[in-house]
Structure 1
Amino acid sequence: MNSIFRQVAVIGKYHAGLPAGAAGAARTALEDIANFLSAQGCEVVLERDTASNAGVHGMPVLDVPAIGAQCDLGLVVGGDGTMLGIGRQLARFGVPLVGINQGRLGFITDIPLDQYASVLPPMLRGEYEQDDRTLMHAQVMRDGHCVFDALAMNDVVVNRGSTSGMVELRVEVNGHFVANQRADGVIVASPTGSTAYALSAGGPLLHPAIPGWVLVPIAPHTLSNRPIVLPDGAEIAIEVVGGRDVSANFDMQSLASLLHGDRITVRRSQHKARFLHPKGWSYFDTLRRKLHWYEGGN
């Protein structure tokens, strides 16, 4: 069989220090998937840290920038966190990603590990659904200087420390004052992140095709302070006005000890992550399965 993807990178969630049994299972899964891809006509490489931490030897390895420059497809074996991490790094290269789920929820890694051998061949022939996800470009500005710069696919969260009281945050959209919010914090979530922390805080689900963000207060002091959906072309600015031990989190990247007067700006990135799903994939099927919505029946 001839794959339309010539060079495929396999990327895993594996970290150094896994127990022997888990490391052995991880190594076996990676080797099996790599051999399967080779049999489909693909030139297979492993992401360097994945190979090192899982103990896979004798296969070509590349670091992430080289994968972005050379590979036609990334096959991510892990959970949503793994997919988010590599998606941020590869978005600027336009490399599409397919997710094989070894995690729990799997909103964006949607191929079960035990089904990859039947699901992947049609996708490798070009039979797939493409799903582009917008990224957020966030910066922390202090005294007119940028002290932190990051991409986020899920959300940007500004919140209080574990032992302090409420924070007070001034929120602006496109330079227009919205409100001073007294709360445990504020979440700016993408459609991808609308099923994560924002959902737990009472925010709405956003379909991935909606070009918007959702601004969600965390435990607000005023109950009329509700989530709001904003266009993703807007620039959102959150200024720290009051509170102690305020921190900002950008997906899995964090900046602790924000100062009063610090401004966190969020705007749409020029890059998008490209996810590929099996033919016939539906976002609503994913929601129904993962959120255990009632399906009816006889």
Structure 2
Amino acid sequence: MLQPGIIPLRPLGLGEILDGAVRAVRANPAVMFGLSAVVVTVAVALQTLVQLYVTSLIGAALSDTTLDGAMTAADSAVFSELLSTSGGQALTVPLLIPVTSVLTGLLIVSVSRSVLGQRVALREVWRTRRVWLLVGFALLQLLASLLAVALWIGALAALAAAGADGAAVAVGVLGGLALVALLVWVTTRTLLVPPALMLEGKRFWPTVARAWRLTRGSFWRLLGIYVLSNLLVSVLMYLFLVPAAVVAGLVTAASGSDDLTVLVSALGQIVGLTLSTTFLAAVVALLYVDVRIRREGLDLDLARAATGAA
């Protein structure tokens, strides 16, 4: 069994994919961790600055409107701080989507080389211009998601305005479940689009269509591995985010400053997002390799490439 790099060149099992993702990080830490840390730090720093500004605007707007007879001044202040902080964070989260898309694409290039036992230099990764196709795809996904949610909310609002409370409840529950199911289905069917866009060198829409076809017959396997990987990443992230949240709460209680809370939370987010993006990018890249080995005999091409490189 030939194994020139991080995985054996044959159909992969669950353990081999997860182990290969870890091996991909260890094979080229300068790109997988170093590049991730730099990009995520810059992105989170910009997001934090925007969040602090948005939070101050929301807090100023709420300071005069949340105080009524049912709330004391202290309660109103706490409510305003909570709403402004959470509102600022919610409004700035989409800023990270293009950044994580770029980073995922760059990391996929490194993982693909590690499969052959090769290492890609950081300067070579930066020259990969196809990553902008991945940014465009991520923005299209975001736009489609926002449109679907807007249609659902619009239907709820129209039914509520017409006095059809029963129908509004039914649309709210059934429509919400349908949206979740649709999101899971589309996410799984487009899971292999990022590595296909980065590695195949073809035009945008034909590549998206090809990646969609690659997932046929592998839906439940891809979904299961991807969900498990996200669960593992979530546990790992909470190991950093929960202590950061506790420290942020203590800082707020001691200083009374929301700004310090945001900054402490940002530090935890940098570590968590670096780890999660790195691991998930490696998993997706290896799933792409695995599906192509199963459907197209990619292992033979990889074996020839590895032998020729040697």
TM-score by length of 2: 0.24
Q: Which has the higher helix share?
A: 2
Structure with larger Rg: 2
Bigger strand share = 1
Structure with more contact order per residue of length (Cα contacts < 8 Å, sep ≥ 6): 2
